[in-house]
């Protein structure tokens, strides 16, 4: 089960989530705006902690519905009231959902869900491999039994 993870606080109090930056699948970052109007970016595996956002940085925001029911958004598990949020969902060989939420107390949280083709490997390939293995065992057993009983003599 995936749980919300609290991010380290930005250098100043965040007032809004600007969006999610697209660098790599493992390196997506959250961009925030603070009370002074400064913009910061965080939590990309390449960046480490919070750094000042560059004007040329590209980010995109998909708004979440904060009030009421939001299909697919795990908002109920957060430890406070949500002020702003954004999310991204990707699928090619891996299904990935990444959510960021800014709570009214100023804390930032992330939720990352990943499910890939490797997870399906056992279900898609395990059965045929198991069937093949059982077939080989039965064939070897029958062949050895036939050799002992001289079934293969001419």
User: Per-residue pLDDT for 79 more than 70?
Assistant: yes
d(CA 55, CA 136): 63
42-64: pLDDT as tens digits: 875 555 688 888 877 778 787 77
Mean pLDDT of 116-144: 80
Q: Are 2 and 72 in contact (CB under 8 A)?
A: no
| DSSP per-residue letters across 19-64 | EEE-S-TT--EEEEEETTS-EEEE--TTT-S-EEPPTT--EE--B-
Mean pLDDT of 126-139: 87
Q: What's the pLDDT score for residue 36?
A: 94
Bridge partners of 84, per DSSP, are 102
Q: Is the dihedral of CA 80, 16, 84, 41 positive or negative?
A: negative
């Amino acid at each position: 089960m995936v749980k919300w993870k609290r991010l380290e606080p930005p250098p100043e109090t965040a007032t809004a989530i600007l969006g999610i930056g697209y660098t790599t699948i493992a390196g997506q970052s959250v961009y925030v705006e603070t009370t002074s109007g400064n913009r910061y970016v965080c939590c990309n595996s390449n960046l480490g902690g919070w750094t000042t956002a560059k004007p040329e940085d590209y980010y995109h925001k998909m708004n979440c519905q904060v009030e009421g029911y939001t299909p697919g958004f795990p908002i109920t598990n957060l430890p406070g009231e949500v002020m702003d949020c954004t999310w991204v969902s990707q699928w090619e060989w891996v299904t990935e959902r990444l959510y960021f939420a800014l709570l009214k107390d100023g804390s930032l949280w992330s939720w990352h869900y990943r499910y890939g083709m490797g997870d399906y490997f056992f279900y898609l390939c395990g059965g045929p491999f198991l069937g093949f293995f059982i077939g080989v065992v039965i064939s070897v057993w029958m062949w050895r039994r036939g050799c002992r009983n001289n079934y293969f003599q001419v």
